[in-house]
Amino acid sequence: MDDLEVRRLPGDLARLFDPSGRGDGLGGRAVDAAERTLSVPLPEGDLVWPDPGYPQRLLPLRPAFWLSEEPVHGELWAGLRAEHARSGLWPLLMDETDQPWASGQIAPEPVVEVGNYVPHAFMSEVWSDWAEQAAPEDLDDLAPFGRHCPGLAPPGVPVDDPDAVADRYARVLAERGLSLGLAAVERGADALAAVGWQGALNHNEWTAPLAAVLRGWEDRFGARVVALGFNTLELSVAAPPITTRHAVHVAAEHWAFCPDILFQGPGTLAGYAEEIRGKTNWSFWWD
């Protein structure tokens, strides 16, 4: 058996990639799975298909992701992250506390749709909708911006290599006993759409706009998608805001992305900004 055969994607993992060659499937750009390799040994696991009885946004032509049978350690996540460029598979630590992922209550979206959304436009729309309904006493919660969306915050200054920060955070999260997921995507941000995550459904009907926001955070703050839960998201951050002013601006983006972290948390942008200032991981949850 030659080296190419040893490193070829094991088991049924090739089925995660677009077999049509059109590049319009769940994973976005067409990828020839035969060119993908993976040298990191995987634990026992299986492919997860969307439940046909769950509302779908497109026909489930192929499985959404691969899922391990048992929890994994952080070193495995780091090893798979390092091989992403060759395997095309982004690792996810998947929390099954509230609902098992294998139940298939997911609704994958074409990753090509992510590119149709612009983060600052999404933020402005969320802000505008809130401003139309906000009572005068609510304006103080979003001070100093109030009704006026501030737009996207400037990039942060890296404090470390983004991949190194992600690997460290994965080791911390893995101590919770999380399963491993593998999504066929070119970048971690797109995993939300590819796996059909529905965690923010009460905030936004589609997942692709949220993935577009994550792409922007990858670029400006060295963020990496590390873990997903039923309605939670964990990111590592290599270039967090350091000053109070910058942190408040970033907090405004976080609020538009996930209002619950503010209204069910500290209650004001200023209070939340202090929680994320200099912090190298961001946690989100939707009610």
Taking residues 204-220, what's their average pLDDT?
95
Taking residues 223-251, what's their average pLDDT?
98
Residue 60 pLDDT class (50, 70, 90 cuts):
low
pLDDT at 21: 38
Under a CB-based contact definition with an 8 Å cutoff, are residues 115 and 190 in contact? no
> What does the DSSP assignment read for 35-97?
G-B--SPP-SEEEEPPPTTS--SS---S--EEEESS---HHHHHHHHHTHHHH-EEEEEE--S
Average pLDDT over residues 208-232: 97
User: Could you tell me the residue ranges of all domains in the chain?
Assistant: 3-112+162-233, 114-158+237-285
pLDDT band at 59 (very low <50, low <70, confident <90, very high): low
Look at 27-36, 89-98, 109-118 and tell me which has the smallest mean pLDDT: 27-36
pTM of the model: 0.92
> Per-residue pLDDT for 4 more than 70?
no
Q: Any idea what the Cα angle at residue 203 is, between residues 200 and 204, rounded to 5°? A: 80
Does 22 have pLDDT greater than 80? Answer: no
Lowest mean pLDDT across 3-12, 41-50, 106-115: 3-12
Residue 194 near residue 17 (C-beta atoms within 8 A): no
